[in-house]
Structure 1
Amino acid sequence: MPKIIGSSLAEHRERTRSALFAALSHLMRERGFDAISLADIAATAGIGRTAVYNHFPDKESVLLAFIEHETSAYVRALERSLAEVEDPVEQLRVYVRQQLQLERSYHFAPGPDLREVVSRDAAAHLRAHVGLVEDLLRQILARAIATGDIPDQHLDAVVHLVHACLSGRSVPRGEPARGEFIAATELFVLRAVGARTAWSVRAAEVA
């Protein structure tokens, strides 16, 4: 019988999953999802290969569970940050900063895009998780339009354009470059959606 990690089966399951997620994240930073096997994930996590099958049938299942875990935690944290701000333009600022500061281990992996190396069903799940984050942005923009802080615009198109601007960016780690990069991106997004405060900020900077 496999050794139980923790004081209960529930804790054992959670610790095992966490170890597998950490191993997957580490391996994806090194070589990309397409070059990883389930045996690699198990070995890196220090878990017997047969024991892994008690939790996941294949590496795609590990990936989807990992992304669901990471996305859910991120969305909860982002919702808490947004709840502290009432003004929709300020919420957009928060959203941009949070997105840029997020470490996306599954987005920054080397090799082909994940959607190109997973099954059609897995790719659909990946899109669904991205959709959870996009929905928050769509709600922010809709509120900004309703309050007159930005002009009326095609929300679906704008959401995709903003995400294209924010996704996959390598943010400098050191200051002041990091702060300057985030501030510049924040201003760019605000100006792109037509936020009045963005133009006033730019005018103040020029003055």
Structure 2
Amino acid sequence: MPKITGNTLAEHRERTRRALFDSLGQLLATKPFDKITLSDVATNAHVGRTAVYNHFADKEDLLLAYIEDETRSYVARLSQALEDVQDPLDRLRVYIREQALLKQHYHFPSGARLTDTLSRDTVGRLHSHADIMEHMLSQILHEAIDQGQLPNQDVAMSVQLIHACVLGGRPTPANPMQRERYMHSLDSFVLQAVGAQQAAHPVPVSLDHDDDAPTPSLSRCPMAG
């Protein structure tokens, strides 16, 4: 009988799932999804391979559960950062900053690679998670346009281009000074790209914000672009 690591069976199952998610996230940071096996995930998580099948039917099932879990955490932090920001342009700037910071910690596989290795149904479900982020940014841009802070534009196209710029470019620097310069340049570039005036004040930061706060294991938003 496998060792129970929690006080209850439910707690044990949750700890095992978390260990498997963390393991998959670490592996995705080093190799493509199609090169990862369930044995790799189990070994890296320090659990038996049979434990994986107690939770997930196959590798795609694990990936979907992992991305659903990561997306919830990802959206929760973005929503918290935006909660007290009312000005649409400031909301855009906070969104961009958070996306750039969060991509240091998350390791979602690229959608372009996944479409060649996953079933059509699974790819469709992964795209639905990207839709959450696109909808959030789309709302911000529409608010800014409605308030006259941005010129009329193809919002759907702007969303795609912004995500390509923020999520598909160079990694956000880990060095604090280099990161500050990068974030300032990114802020100015995106504002200019959408037709906004350059801001006269820094990006709003909540009192409890921590750029180096630990987050779950993605280098880019799931299936973005």
TM-score normalized by the length of structure 1: 0.89
Determine which structure has greater relative contact order: mean sequence separation of CA pairs < 8 Å that are 6+ residues apart, divided by chain length: 2
Cα distance in structure 1, aligned partners of 2:72 and 2:175: 28
Cα distance in structure 2, aligned partners of 1:175 and 1:151: 34
Q: Deviations over 1:150-172 (max 9, x none)?
A: 11211111111111111133112
Cα distance in structure 1, aligned partners of 2:166 and 2:184: 13
Q: Please tell me whether the aligned partners of residues 100 and 172 of structure 2 are also in contact (alpha carbons under 8 angstroms).
A: yes
Q: Which residue of 1 aligns with 2:178?
A: 177
* Structure 1 unaligned residues grouped into runs of 5+: 202-207
Q: Please tell me whether the aligned partners of residues 68 and 129 of structure 1 are also in contact (alpha carbons under 8 angstroms).
A: yes
Q: Which residue of 1 aligns with 2:9?
A: 9
Q: Deviations over 1:104-123 (max 9, x none)?
A: 31247xxx723332221221
Residue 166 of structure 2 corresponds to residue 157 of structure 1: no
- SS at the partner of 1:176? helix
Amino acid corresponding to residue 172 of structure 2 in structure 1: V
* Structure 2 unaligned residues grouped into runs of 5+: 202-225
Cα distance in structure 2, aligned partners of 1:7 and 1:122: 34
**Coordinate RMSD, CA, aligned:** 1.9
Q: Deviations over 1:41-60 (max 9, x none)?
A: 11211111112111001111
Q: Which residue of 1 aligns with 2:197?
A: 196
Cα distance in structure 1, aligned partners of 2:116 and 2:175: 33
Q: Please tell me whether the aligned partners of residues 188 and 198 of structure 2 are also in contact (alpha carbons under 8 angstroms).
A: no
Q: Which residue of 2 aligns with 1:52?
A: 52
Q: Which residue of 2 aligns with 1:35?
A: 35
Sequence identity (%): 46
Q: Which runs of 4+ in 1 moved over 6 A?
A: none
Cα distance in structure 2, aligned partners of 1:35 and 1:53: 19
Number of equivalences: 198
Q: Please tell me whether the aligned partners of residues 107 and 168 of structure 1 are also in contact (alpha carbons under 8 angstroms).
A: no
Amino acid corresponding to residue 99 of structure 2 in structure 1: Q
Q: Which residue of 2 aligns with 1:204?
A: none
Q: Please tell me whether the aligned partners of residues 78 and 95 of structure 1 are also in contact (alpha carbons under 8 angstroms).
A: yes
Q: Which residue of 1 aligns with 2:21?
A: 21
Q: Deviations over 1:70-94 (max 9, x none)?
A: 1111101111111110000000000
Shift of 1:12: 1.3
Amino acid corresponding to residue 80 of structure 2 in structure 1: R
- The structure in which a higher percent of residues are helix is 1
Q: Please tell me whether the aligned partners of residues 25 and 106 of structure 1 are also in contact (alpha carbons under 8 angstroms).
A: yes
Amino acid corresponding to residue 189 of structure 1 in structure 2: V
TM-score normalized by the length of structure 2: 0.82
Shift of 1:95: 0.4
Cα distance in structure 1, aligned partners of 2:20 and 2:78: 25
Bigger Cα displacement from structure 2, 91-100 vs 46-55: 46-55
Cα distance in structure 2, aligned partners of 1:96 and 1:183: 11
